[in-house]
Copies of this chain bind each other. A is one copy, B any other.
Amino acid sequence: MTDQEKKYDVITYGRSSIDLYSQKVGSRFEEIPGFHAFVGGSPLNIAVGCSRLGLKASLLSGVGKDKVGDFLIHFLEEEKVITENVPVIEGARTSAVLLGIEPPDRFPLVYYRDNCADSQINIDHVLNAGIEKSRLLEVSGTALNIEPTRSAAFLAAEIARKNEIPVMLDLDFRADQWYDIRAFGITTRAFMRNVNIVLGTEEEILAAFLADKSQLVISHQQISAPEIKGDIDEAIRGILQLGVDALIVKTGSRGAVVYLPDGTVQKVPGFPVEVVNILGAGDAFAAGFIYGYLKGWDWYKCCRMGNACGAHVVTQLGCANFTPYEKEILAFIESRGGF
């Protein structure tokens, strides 16, 4: 199957949720008067981001038989994300997240993921998803936390590799979603054997090699921004030894760094903007990166595109809802001096 014949440019696998963002920036959580109704979940955000960039993006996730599920599907369809791989799971609930916004440094998250639908993606869903018809498979690390999604995700990566489809893992470390935080590293390290590109923040890369629970500290319920102790160089080497093509480290306003197994290290500068909310920036980066990767761009240019998309999102309150469209982001890059 040639790329032109492929049904999907990208399948993103894992979390999807209604994301409820505090409407009062700076308010203590206890006093939030209301929430904007957005959507979220790393793979959902990336699918929307890719779709806005013009790619045929399919989300592989699950929703419950509930109105929140209808809300997600409605949004995805508006965004032209292909939803045929988002089954309605009987007896499970669509994920939800509540987010407080207290810049500069407090963004508490409350996950509603007990018995959630996107964890119920199973082997049959994967077999029916047509992974062999996609040009790339992107998997979220949280999709590996419990069964049945865990085995199903391992199978998805195997199918991709057998069909010579590149696999990207976004580490997506959410500490409270693992029965033992060290299981995150054990499981993602096993998974990386079938991965081409690993994406993560420095904290997430450290989390993938966490040996001692006391290395992790989470303050103010900021699940997406843990503090983790460890040796980042050793962790990076550890990942590169697992057979990946590249490790991309997202370093926030500083841009991204590419690490290759041959020892190459390449810093890719970001685009300076005024930060309103960093949530979703990493997913916008991933979408931009995938856009470039599928065009055959080199690592540097892929990351520049990712950085631009990330920069666009941090100026807004929300994730998928404010990821950029192809024309506007290319114009933005142009306006900032180009790639």
Q: How far is the CA of A211 from the CA of B40 in the complex (A)?
A: 33
User: Does chain B have a CB within 8 A of A154?
Assistant: yes
Q: How far is the CA of A32 from the CA of B115 in the complex (A)?
A: 24
User: Does chain B have a CB within 8 A of A56?
Assistant: no
Q: Note all chain B residues with C-beta closer than 8 A to A108.
A: 67
Given contacts A123-B186, A154-B187, contact A70 B30 (CB under 8 A): yes
Copies in the complex: 4
Chain B residue nearest to A176 (CB atoms) is: B66
Q: Mark A70-88, 1 if CB is under 8 A from B, else 0.
A: 1101110000000000000
Contact A110 B37 (CB under 8 A): no
Q: How far is the CA of A70 from the CA of B221 in the complex (A)?
A: 11
User: Does chain B have a CB within 8 A of A33?
Assistant: yes
Contact A74 B30 (CB under 8 A): yes
Contact B183 A151 (CB under 8 A): yes
Residue A37 contacts which of B34, B67, B147, B155 (CB distance < 8 angstroms)? B34
Contact A33 B37 (CB under 8 A): yes
Q: How far is the CA of A255 from the CA of B205 in the complex (A)?
A: 47
Chain B residue nearest to A157 (CB atoms) is: B190
Q: How far is the CA of A96 from the CA of B94 in the complex (A)?
A: 13
User: Does chain B have a CB within 8 A of A177?
Assistant: no
Give the distance to chain B from A56, nearest Cβ to Cβ, in Å. Answer: 23
Q: Note all chain B residues with C-beta closer than 8 A to A105.
A: none
Q: Note all chain B residues with C-beta closer than 8 A to A110.
A: 66-68, 93-94
Q: Note all chain B residues with C-beta closer than 8 A to A75.
A: 30
Q: Mark A31-68, 1 if CB is under 8 A from B, else 0.
A: 11111110000000000000000000000000000111
User: Does chain B have a CB within 8 A of A166?
Assistant: no
Residue A32 contacts which of B32, B33, B37, B189 (CB distance < 8 angstroms)? B37
Contact A98 B68 (CB under 8 A): yes
Quick one: which of A34, A94, A186, A187 has the most chain B CB within 10 A? A186
Q: Note all chain B residues with C-beta closer than 8 A to A36.
A: 33-34
Q: Mark A96-131, 1 if CB is under 8 A from B, else 0.
A: 101010000000101010110000001100000000
Given contacts A68-B110, A112-B93, contact A183 B147 (CB under 8 A): yes
Q: Mark A9-38, 1 if CB is under 8 A from B, else 0.
A: 000000000101001000001111111110
Given contacts A148-B179, A151-B180, A154-B187, contact A96 B93 (CB under 8 A): no
User: Does chain B have a CB within 8 A of A193?
Assistant: yes
Q: Note all chain B residues with C-beta closer than 8 A to A68.
A: 29, 98, 110
Give the distance to chain B from A70, nearest Cβ to Cβ, in Å. Answer: 5
Q: What are 12 A-B residue pairs whose CB atoms fall within 8 Å in the complex? A: A20-B35, A30-B67, A33-B37, A35-B35, A66-B110, A67-B100, A93-B112, A96-B98, A147-B147, A148-B180, A154-B187, A155-B186
Question: What 4 A-B pairs come out closest when comparing CB atoms?
Answer: A30-B74, A114-B114, A114-B115, A29-B67
